[in-house]
Amino acid sequence: MTESDSHPGPSGHAACHPFETDLDRNPANHVALTPASLLARAAAAAGARIAVIEGDRHITYAQLYARCRRLASGLAALGIGRLDTVAILSPNVPEMVEAHFAVPMLGAVLNPLNTRLDPATIAFSLAHGRARVLIVEAECASLATRALAAFDRPILVVAIGETGIVDALPYEALIDAGDPDYAWVGPADEWQSLCLLYTSGTTGDPKGAVYSHRGAYLQALGNAVTFGLTDESVYLWTLPMFHCSGWSYPWACVAACATQICLRKVDPAAIFRLIAEHGVTHLCGAPIVLSMIAHAPVADRVAIPQRVRCAVGGAAPSSTIIRTMEELGFQVLHLYGATESYGPATVCLPQPDWADLSADDRYARMARQGVPLATLEGVAVIDPTTDRPVPRDGAVVGEIALRGNTVMKGYLGNPGATAQALAGGWYRTGDLGVWHPDGSVEIKDRAKDIIISGGENISSLEVEEVLMRHPAVMLAAVVARPDPTWGESPCAFLEVKPGAEPPSDQEVIAFCRERMARFKVPKTVVFGALPKTSTGKIQKFVLRDRARGL
């Protein structure tokens, strides 16, 4: 019962309560939240500050705002408006940042496309998302050309640089024709759709997660607070902006008036060079990115005088990677989330008692998924059969679930998948984990990655964590292999460090036996490069197929 219910107004209705009478919304006290307003504020507050850098290009916040207004104006002149889809196929360049603000200014929907996908999947995304415009950067021209050849309806192509695509409109011509004072209006409602992000599923067609203006605005603030972004921060793009809209960091950096450094591809030598050249303070990436940095050749490394905060997400980082990154001068922060949650949803916050832990125990704590960002309503570990929270004992396993304003609206044109993902008022992540007494959650495995051997459940993550401690191992992935006796047994796929001599199978098995229960020890060991998704995640479905054929 609310206070207004228990103390009704003269007519007996809550609506007549003094706090609800003559206190209405109007333009002075209520404006729809949109990340586009963050750029307007940054241009007014810090117009001369450098917003984006790529090579010799330095764009101030005033210039960025003017370019975004010009782009929005140019697109509007072409007939693009509310809820029209504008797709973009590009590496991390300033134009990607511009698209994340110009398209929302129109009330249109931005669709960043994964540059590492095949032409057929790109064509599917364009068709399913009903794209009216495709912005293509020159580096992606070949992929775009092949995708467009499979596309069965007209679409306007805007070219960044020389793409060779026939009848493409030059991006800079669109900017030049646009109005720098374009009076953008933003969304009619903050629940209006803002962004369309396709997930890279392992089977079937990709699903298109839809973001709202409200969710993106709040996620930007949550990211900025969680990662400690300020107007003195310099953020290096080691994460692709097409992935979860760069975990929403194009908006977060602007919210903080920080400087963004564009990097087209992950190159450890370039990362170290840019950190030194620009005084980089923040970067994000999947564990594979951290692994590349940690194992960079000595000749590519430079001393890092400033503190560089490094957020890792996408999979649980191994304690070995965390240790190595700290030794190189990085401060690692573990984030957890999904495309469906605008990127980061939880953060592993350091706790006071960590100071009393051994190094190994502290690194293990740092690998937990943690507690909700300030802008997420809640996280829980629930029993999949009853939907009730499991005990906070760090032992009982359930499914990690999220809820709040920074959870997607749903999957475009797929009500069945939406209902399943958001069942019971929670976003079901599909990750199995435990809930600790301090409120932090910890993934034990993906539901499909649990190995059941002789009736015992084996967490592939637990086995991988041990394997990654081996001095020769750079990456490890463990999957189930059919076993005539036990039903399933662990099969380990290992990628060794550059220049390291692969250990023998028996050496690896002996290493594991010293550190875990015998039934968890891999019975099969395979060496070689691990297959990865476009965002650096190891493709376990590929490895499961390989294991079945061994």
pLDDT, tens only, 217-253: 999 999 999 999 999 999 999 999 999 999 999 999 9
To which residue do tokens 């695509």 refer?
A: 165
Query: Is there a contact between 492 and 523 (Cβ–Cβ < 8 Å)?
Result: no
Q: What is the DSSP letter of 456?
A: E
Query: Is there a contact between 345 and 336 (Cβ–Cβ < 8 Å)?
Result: yes
Alpha carbon distance 93, 106 (integer Å): 21
Alpha carbon distances (Å) from 387 to 377, 474, 534: 17, 38, 33
Q: Tell me if the domain spanning 450-548 has CATH number 3.90.1150.30.
A: no
How large is the greatest C-alpha to C-alpha distance in the chain, in angstroms?
83
Mean pLDDT of 179-192: 94
pLDDT at 268 over 90: yes
To which residue do tokens 């005990």 refer?
A: 391
Which pLDDT tens digit goes with each residue over 488-543? 899 999 999 988 889 999 999 999 999 887 888 999 999 999 998 766 778 888 99
Band (304; pLDDT cuts 50, 70, 90): confident
- Torsion-angle region of residue 270: left (phi > 0), alpha (psi -120 to 50) or beta? alpha
Would you state the pLDDT for residue 369? 92
| Secondary structure class of 311 (helix, strand, coil) | strand
Alpha carbon distance 473, 496 (integer Å): 4
Alpha carbon distance 173, 185 (integer Å): 23
The candidate with the shortest Cα–Cα distance to 76, out of 98, 112, 105, is 105
Would you state the pLDDT for residue 456? 67
Would you state the pLDDT for residue 66? 98
Band (202; pLDDT cuts 50, 70, 90): very low
Query: Is there a contact between 67 and 39 (Cβ–Cβ < 8 Å)?
Result: no
Band (199; pLDDT cuts 50, 70, 90): confident
Cα 432 to the chain's mean position, in Å? Answer: 19
- Percentage of the chain surpassing pLDDT 90? 69
The candidate with the shortest Cα–Cα distance to 468, out of 328, 317, 245, 331, is 317
One-letter identity of residue 395 = A
- The answer to whether 266-447 and 450-548 have equal CATH topology is no
Which pLDDT tens digit goes with each residue over 334-355? 999 999 999 999 999 988 888 8
pTM for the model stands at 0.84
Alpha carbon distances (Å) from 106 to 63, 76, 150: 19, 7, 28
Which pLDDT tens digit goes with each residue over 349-378? 988 888 899 988 888 888 889 999 999 999
Alpha carbon distance 347, 406 (integer Å): 14
The candidate with the shortest Cα–Cα distance to 459, out of 439, 430, 432, is 432
Query: Is there a contact between 134 and 155 (Cβ–Cβ < 8 Å)?
Result: yes
Q: What is the DSSP letter of 404?
A: S
List, in order, residues 6 or more apart from 461 with CB less than 8 Å away.
Answer: 316, 443, 444, 445, 449
Would you state the pLDDT for residue 5? 43
Domain 266-447 adopts which CATH fold?
Rossmann fold (3.40.50)
pLDDT at 13 over 70: no
pLDDT at 200 over 70: no
One-letter identity of residue 493 = F
Band (160; pLDDT cuts 50, 70, 90): very high
One-letter identity of residue 190 = E
Angle between helices 505-513 and 460-467 in degrees, nearest 10:
110
| Secondary structure class of 312 (helix, strand, coil) | strand
Query: Is there a contact between 52 and 262 (Cβ–Cβ < 8 Å)?
Result: yes
C-alpha atoms less than 13 angstroms from C-alpha of 320 in its C-beta half-sphere: 18
Cα 162 to the chain's mean position, in Å? Answer: 30
Q: What angle do CA 509, 317, 251 make, to 5 degrees?
A: 160
Residues of 29-65 as b/e, b for ≥16 C-beta within 10 angstroms? eeebbbbbbbbbebbeebbebbbbbbeeeebbbbbbb
Domain 36-214 adopts which CATH fold?
Rossmann fold (3.40.50)
Residue ranges of domains in the chain: 36-214, 266-447, 450-548
pLDDT at 1 over 50: no
List, in order, residues 6 or more apart from 346 with CB less than 8 Å away.
Answer: 335, 336, 337, 369, 370, 371, 372, 373, 376, 379, 402, 441
Q: What are phi and psi of 112, to 5 degrees?
A: -70, 125
Alpha carbon distance 408, 410 (integer Å): 5
pLDDT at 15 over 70: no
Alpha carbon distance 175, 67 (integer Å): 6
Band (323; pLDDT cuts 50, 70, 90): confident
The candidate with the shortest Cα–Cα distance to 209, out of 110, 115, 117, is 110
174 or 368, higher pLDDT: 174
Mean of the per-residue pLDDT values of the chain:
91
Alpha carbon distance 208, 212 (integer Å): 13
Band (7; pLDDT cuts 50, 70, 90): very low
The candidate with the shortest Cα–Cα distance to 241, out of 139, 157, 343, is 343
How many Å is the Cα radius of gyration of the chain? 25
Alpha carbon distance 458, 513 (integer Å): 14
Cα 196 to the chain's mean position, in Å? Answer: 14
Would you state the pLDDT for residue 488? 84
Would you state the pLDDT for residue 549? 87
pLDDT at 106 over 70: yes
List, in order, residues 6 or more apart from 480 with CB less than 8 Å away.
Answer: 451, 452, 453, 488, 489, 490, 491, 544, 547
Band (14; pLDDT cuts 50, 70, 90): low
Band (454; pLDDT cuts 50, 70, 90): low
One-letter identity of residue 112 = P
Would you state the pLDDT for residue 393? 95
